[in-house]
Amino acid sequence: MNIAFYGNHFYYGGLANNGGSRTILLSAEELRKLGHRVDVVTHTDRFTWFKHPKVIRKIAKDTDCLVAISISDVGIMTKAAPKGCKLFYWARPMEFWQKSERKCLKKLKNFPGKIMCNSRWQVNWLNEHGIKAEVFFSGQDLEDKVPKRQHANKFPIVGVQYSTKPRKGWGNFKRIVDILGTSVRYVGFGSEKCKENIFSIYLRNPGRDELTDLYRRMSVFVCCSDLEGFYNPGVEAAMQGCVIVANNNSRNGCMDYCTPETAHIHLSPVTAAENILNPDFTKVDKMRDIIKTKIGTRKQNMERMIECLK
């Protein structure tokens, strides 16, 4: 098949150094390995984390399947689609910062294609409003063994993703820091220049090997977002042996793999601080098992997506 991921909105379109762009490029790479031609249609490419095929500006006429990669792309993609081309929207997450929930629902109720979501909460939300959707994870690059720990558990090393975007919940993490103070060590990563002075290590736009090494230094990884699709850093940290501490917000992007058995799920910053100081490392293997069986590899998920696109 000839497949195209479409992210050509004049404002929200384009690729940049962020998890969403990385997911699209890695998904496209995996689909190519499965024997399909895959284009990424967009007007701007500022993604530098790894090399990838050049993007294109216009949809090829022989495209079989078009996949919008943001809610703002749905309408313009539908109008620009070649005749006979199948249409899809892959919500990764539902971009409520681009359109209100009401406008997202209106747009998707009128969408003449299939809707895929990379987390269960989005599917449930759409189903509640009479819109059919299915879960399609992007999948993970899984490892078989937890690496040898580089730190002592008596002095927790707390990891977090730094971002000033409101939906990322940095204020939630700062409330935890206010409670813990200097009783733990903090390490972090992000795409922004860090304005905080709490980190002993902060990596801006780290490469994959750098980020993996940072995960391996952590004992606990805190997921503090309020709105995500599927939160990949939580999975990546867990696969490197971290205990996950997450809030109980159903839209935080973690609930496809965080349960009381696999992670510390807190109701307040006070509870989160207690979890960080007393992490239960027996949860790590349980988390990894769920990731392997419920989430799966990138290849497994792209094989499943192909069946949907046919």
Tens digits of per-residue pLDDT, 12-42? 999 998 889 999 999 999 999 999 999 999 9
103 has a pLDDT exceeding 50: yes
pLDDT per residue over 257-280, tens digit each?
999 999 999 999 999 999 999 999
**Is the pLDDT confidence value at 148 over 70?**
no
C-alpha span between 104 and 165 (Å, rounded): 20
Same domain (yes/no): 10, 132: yes
Q: Residue 162: which domain range?
A: 157-294
In the chain, the number of structural domains is 2
Asked if residue 94 and residue 186 are part of one domain, the reply reads: no
pLDDT tens column, 56-87? 999 999 999 999 999 999 999 999 999 999 99
Q: What is the mean pLDDT of residues 197-213?
A: 93
Identity (one letter) of the amino acid at 130?
G
Claim to verify: residue 83 and residue 119 sit in the same structural domain: yes
Could you tell me which residues come within 8 angstroms of residue 155 by beta carbon, excluding any fewer than 6 positions away? 184, 185
Q: How confident is the model at residue 152 (pLDDT cuts 50, 70, 90)?
A: very low
Spatial separation of the C-alpha atoms in residues 173 and 263, rounded to whole Å: 17
- The residue-averaged pLDDT of 244-259 equals 95
| Residue 299, domain member (yes or no) | no
pLDDT exceeds cutoff 60 at 153? no
The pLDDT confidence band at residue 208, using thresholds 50, 70 and 90, is confident
153-162, 230-239, 249-258: lowest mean pLDDT where? 153-162
CATH of the domain at 31: 3.40.50.2000
Query: Average pLDDT, whole number, for the chain?
Result: 93
**Does 105 share its domain with 174?**
no
The partner residues of 88 in beta bridges, in order of sequence, read: 67, 114
- Is residue 11 in a domain? yes
Kindly state whether residue 173 falls inside one of the protein's structural domains: yes
Same domain, 8 and 60: yes
At residue 156, does pLDDT exceed 90? Answer: no
Whether 173 and 48 share a structural domain: no
**Does 309 map to a domain?**
no
Same domain, 167 and 119: no
The residue type found at 66 is L
Residue 231 and residue 129 in one domain: no
Clarify whether residues 261 and 190 are in a common domain: yes
Choice between 143 and 174, residue whose per-residue pLDDT is larger: 174
Same domain (yes/no): 252, 284: yes
d(CA 138, CA 27): 7
* Of the residues 84, 105, 136, the one at which a domain ends: 136
Please give the residue that has the higher pLDDT: either 142 or 207: 207
Residue 278 lies in a domain: yes
Written as one letter, the residue type at 7 is G
- What gap in Å lies between CA 253 and CA 225, rounded to an integer? 8
Residue 280 counted as domain residue = yes
**What pLDDT is stored for residue 285 in this prediction?**
92
- Cα distances (angstroms) measured from residue 253 to each of 136, 232, 247: 14, 8, 10
Does residue 142 sit within a domain?
Answer: no
Same-domain pairing of 84 and 174: no
The β-bridge partners of 202 are: 188
Query: ∠ CA 118-120-124 to the nearest 5 degrees?
Result: 125
Q: Which of these, 214, 123, 269, lies nearest to 204 by C-alpha position?
A: 214
Within this chain, do residues 112 and 18 fall inside the same structural domain, yes or no?
yes
- Residue 84 domain flag: yes
pLDDT-based confidence at residue 93 (cuts at 50, 70, 90): confident
